[in-house]
Structure 1
Amino acid sequence: MISRFIIPCIAAIFIAATAMAKETITVGITPTGVPFTFVDAATQKPTGAMVDLATAIAADIGADVQFQINAFPALIPALTTGKINLISASMFVTAKRQEIIDFSIPVYAYGEAMFVAAGDSNDYTIDQLKGQDVGAQIGSTYADALQALGVFGQVKLYDSIADMMRDVVLGRIKAGFGDRPIVAYQISRNPKLGVRLVGGYRPLNEGKVALAVAKNNSQLLNEVNTSIAKFEKNGELAKILSKYGL
């Protein structure tokens, strides 16, 4: 017969163990957002500046982290439906997005770049591409801005920058527009891509990159902001960004 004194002890141990169990934060990333988020070819594991930052934030707040790979346009739906708890990718803060999700303190800022085939030596301006077909990444802030100009024959939308680069090389579009750090990193690491950055291009939009949580998750947002502020002060954020040339 189990002693009536043992049962409360077992219950107390179980409650203590449950209390000590770490929370797991599921973080949404993209596989093609080099150098912010991507899958390392050698290890097949998520890596990049925003992956490292999310990992550091989770450790700072005493949580485990699990990464979920999504196409960029699927990140916000995954967050709002509870499939992920946090977005840590190359996502700009915009008023439209702020209606749906909440952003953290910004951690980086940049604009888009224009790229053309490597054999094309012209450093085009927007006006010089009048009537030409160009490409932009679906869901990006500058895709709408490019379409609104009414200059191009067509602004084709792509799921990935890699697909856009392929169409530039094949001559299906004259130029592509992508996040400058991502495009520059990919070109520097793989000169055989067959594309180059257009010199002197001035971006239509310069945005601020931040992490994001669902509207009803103010506790996680506060924890993330506290960690970011701490990392800005102690140099950890700069260290993470510089590791990836940012």
Structure 2
Amino acid sequence: MALSLSRRLVVCALLAGGSLSAFSSMVRAEELAEAGKLTVAFTGDMPGSGWQDGKLIGYDGEIMQRIADKLGLKVQPALMEWSGTIASVQSGRVDVMLGTMGWTQKRTEIMSLSQPIHYFKNGIMQSTKTSWDKLSDLEGRKVGTITGFSFVPELKKINGLQLSLYDTADAAVRDLIAGRIDAVIGDPPVVSYAIKQNPQWNMHFLAFTDSNPNYPLLTGLGQVVYGFNKKNDDLRKQVDAIINDMWKTCEMKSIGERYGLSDDVWYTPAGENFRAGVDRPADYKLPSCKTSG
């Protein structure tokens, strides 16, 4: 049975035209991987990203598509495994990468990171026969995650945890369904979307209830960002301006609701503002959009 989060359904082709905007004159052709085009590295894992009818889809993808349109650029899709996205940005082969990537201080050292497009809390994909929601529940378990995820070093610190690394979410979930591993720690939107699309799996996702300062990436509230080459920070600033406008109008949430990201937790920052004074000014405030209640 094919997994619904397979990126193999994504077809690489060129975007057919982007609308012009006031931003288009700001983008210098020599700063782009290919003149007139925004070359985007993405994984094809829904609901984060995909390619359909000549456009980026998914939560991350649809926002980036709108940004490209406003910049007057055509999207040049570059479908690849997660492990290759960051390296492609660093080398300059692509202009931007996306794939529900969480902000970390370490990543600020190798890329220029955008404003957040939504927030998230990590958790455990598991059988409906179990209800694990704490780090201690993973002790002695066989756990799968994706190569290159920021919280891998934290998973390795959990007592007795047997970690398996995968290149794709597809492979990790297949092993979970087959019983070769006990749980998967993946992108919350990706695994939640996959579970919703495949009730026959008898899986569910439970967010960590811990708030452990020794495991900040696993148990803290994260933020999803786009990654740019540090030499192309002007492009990142233009993208940030558009993202900020989308937060002000709550467009982020209207897009997210189409992909199952409807709760306020996805759009309301909580806890420490760890970017202030790191890759943003000391007085930096995280954007938010709360429309319910």
Q: TM-score, normalised by structure 1?
A: 0.81
1:115 pairs with one of 125, 130, 135? 125
Contact 2:40 2:98 in 1 (8 A): yes
Shift, 1:61, TM fit: 1.6
Return 99-108 or 193-202, whichever deviates more. Answer: 193-202
Q: Which has the higher helix share?
A: 1
Give me the whole-angstrom Cα distance separating, in 2, the residues matched to 1:210 and 1:227: 13
Q: Matched residue of 2:246: which SS?
A: helix
Give me the whole-angstrom Cα distance separating, in 1, the residues matched to 2:131 and 2:58: 32
Return the letter of the residue paired with 1:197.
Answer: F
Q: After the TM superposition, which residues 133-212 of structure 1 pair with which residues of structure 2 at under 5 Å, given as runs?
A: 133-152=142-161, 154-198=162-206, 201-202=209-210, 203-212=218-227
The verdict on how the C-alpha distance between 1:197 and 1:235 changes in structure 2, with shifts beyond 3 A counting, is closer
Return 219-228 or 187-196, whichever deviates more. Answer: 187-196
2:40 pairs with one of 21, 27, 43? 27
Q: Matched residue of 1:88: which SS?
A: strand
Contact 2:113 2:225 in 1 (8 A): yes
1:83 pairs with one of 93, 102, 108? 93
Shift, 1:126, TM fit: 3.0
Q: Matched residue of 2:102: which SS?
A: coil
Give me the whole-angstrom Cα distance separating, in 1, the residues matched to 2:56 and 2:123: 25
Give me the whole-angstrom Cα distance separating, in 2, the residues matched to 1:183 and 1:164: 11
Q: Which structure is richer in relative contact order (CA contacts within 8 A, separation 6 or more)?
A: 1
The answer on 1:132 being equivalent to 2:145 is no
Shift, 1:193, TM fit: 2.9
Contact 1:142 1:205 in 2 (8 A): no
Contact 1:142 1:204 in 2 (8 A): no
Q: Matched residue of 1:173: which SS?
A: coil
Shift, 1:124, TM fit: 5.8
1:233 pairs with one of 245, 248, 251? 248
Shift, 1:107, TM fit: 1.2
Identical aligned pairs, as a percentage? 26
Shift, 1:105, TM fit: 0.9
Shift, 1:122, TM fit: 4.4
The alignment of Structure 1 onto Structure 2 pairs a total of residues equal to 222
Give me the whole-angstrom Cα distance separating, in 1, the residues matched to 2:246 and 2:134: 39
Contact 2:122 2:207 in 1 (8 A): no
Q: Which residue of 1 aligns with 2:32?
A: none
Q: TM-score, normalised by structure 2?
A: 0.69
Shift, 1:189, TM fit: 0.9
Q: Matched residue of 1:238: which SS?
A: helix
Shift, 1:234, TM fit: 2.7
Shift, 1:45, TM fit: 6.6
Instruction: Describe the superposition over 1:142-196 as per-residue Cα deviations: whole angstroms up to 9, x where unpaired.
Output: 22211122331x1111122221122122221122111222111110011123422
Return the letter of the residue paired with 1:52.
Answer: E
1:66 pairs with one of 43, 55, 76? 76
Shift, 1:111, TM fit: 2.2
Give me the whole-angstrom Cα distance separating, in 2, the residues matched to 1:229 and 1:44: 26
Give me the whole-angstrom Cα distance separating, in 1, the residues matched to 2:138 and 2:73: 49
